[in-house]
Amino acid sequence: MTVAVVTGGASGIGLATANRLRAEGMDVAVLDLAGEGVIACDVTDPAGVQTAIDSALDRFGRIDVLVNNAGITGSPAATVLHETPIEEWDRVHAVNVRGPFLCSRAVLPSMIEQGSGHIITIASVAGLVAFPGRAAYTASKGAAVMLTKSIAVDYAKYGVRANAVCPGMVYTPMTSWRLDQPELRALIERQIPLGRVAQPEEIADAVALLASGRLSYLTGHPLVVDGGMSAL
């Protein structure tokens, strides 16, 4: 049985991913700050991350797939660089970069020991092209993409692969405050060739494909799922 750990799995893309992986027949451990049936974990806390990963290992005996999904966009104060408060910059990077680092660091020893594993990080198309007025978020997702490549290069010899999924605009609790404004949503959707934002389940489809092992030669790759937005 394949065992997956999904961080930030209580809502949005994480919840859709956990549900999809279960539907694919995997055992899934969900890590989140709170929620029914989750392993409580703050991905920015080293001790908490190690405890959560150890708990998943104790329960399932192995971890085959880690999905680093937990992430934040930052508050409206996280805007252009010189106006972004230092505390807000640090908060965004703590979740979006430190989190995947800590979770990957905690799970890698067991993957090395078993000679296999796949670390999938939910980055963003903002890690490949700059989102205007979102310096902290863009920089953090760029770092997440490069962390993925670094893991892929360093751990291939142990049978461990790493890939990123780079969504465009997705309707989730984190983005609904923007997308529930009709004029703003229309403006965003005009910038997407497919003419609409994605649903979390569509990003979960991409994660499930990677987690399935069917693309066994793919590693170090940022898989873009953005409705064509970055192709413009």
Residues identified as active-site: 137
- Round to whole Å and give the CA distance between 184 and 180: 8
3-state secondary structure of 214: coil
Q: What is the dihedral of CA 145, 58, 49, 220, to 10 degrees?
A: -10
- Cβ proximity of 222 and 121 under 8 Å: no
CA angle 87, 92, 96 (to 5 degrees): 150
Q: How far is CA 230 from the centre of its chain?
A: 19
Q: Find out whether 27 and 49 touch, Cβ atoms under 8 Å.
A: no
